[in-house]
Amino acid sequence: MRRTAAARGAGILRTMVPDQSGPSEPGARCSAEFSRRAHGAAIWAALRSCEQAHTLADRLQAAGLDVVNRVILNQVLVRGCGDEDTTRIREHVIATDAGWFSTTIWQGRQAIRLLLSSWRTGAEDIERPADAFVDAVR
């Protein structure tokens, strides 16, 4: 069911007006924070992306690629033995259509930036680009 902007706005206004029917805690109903569950889902998705980034980084490192950043959140920076090798690997993975990524310069050298940021990303979505990178290293 689609909600209109007016319906969403009415929901916000209802939560921002204090309940006058009885005793209330200060600020209990005067916030636009509708649901802590919604925040929990966003946190769950972010933590899942971090876990998947670690999985991807471990797989690429095991294949012999250089993971150049500390994987703390959801980003992996990887490169080959040199700029030419990194370019070759990047072109190979792009040709397989295994995923989208960007390039960057890390400490004066080319690197490939992999960013995991969707709650819809599953294990198979990690395996496909990982396989393409491993194949490029062979």
pLDDT tens series, the chain, 138 aa: 455 555 544 444 444 444 455 555 554 444 545 455 555 666 656 677 888 999 999 999 999 999 999 999 899 999 999 999 999 999 999 999 988 888 999 999 999 999 987 778 888 889 999 999 999 998
Q: At what angle do helices 36-62 and 123-137 cross, to 10 degrees?
A: 20
pTM value > 0.75: no
Contacts of 101 (CB under 8 A, 6+ apart): 90, 93, 112, 113, 114, 115, 129
Q: Please count the CA atoms within 13 angstroms of the CA of 16 that sit on its side-chain side.
A: 7
Contacts of 48 (CB under 8 A, 6+ apart): 119, 121
87: nearest Cα among 100, 108, 70, 104? 104
Q: What residues does each domain of the chain span?
A: 1-34, 41-137
Quick check: helix, strand or coil at residue 75? Answer: strand
Query: In CATH, what number does 41-137 get?
Result: 3.90.1150.10
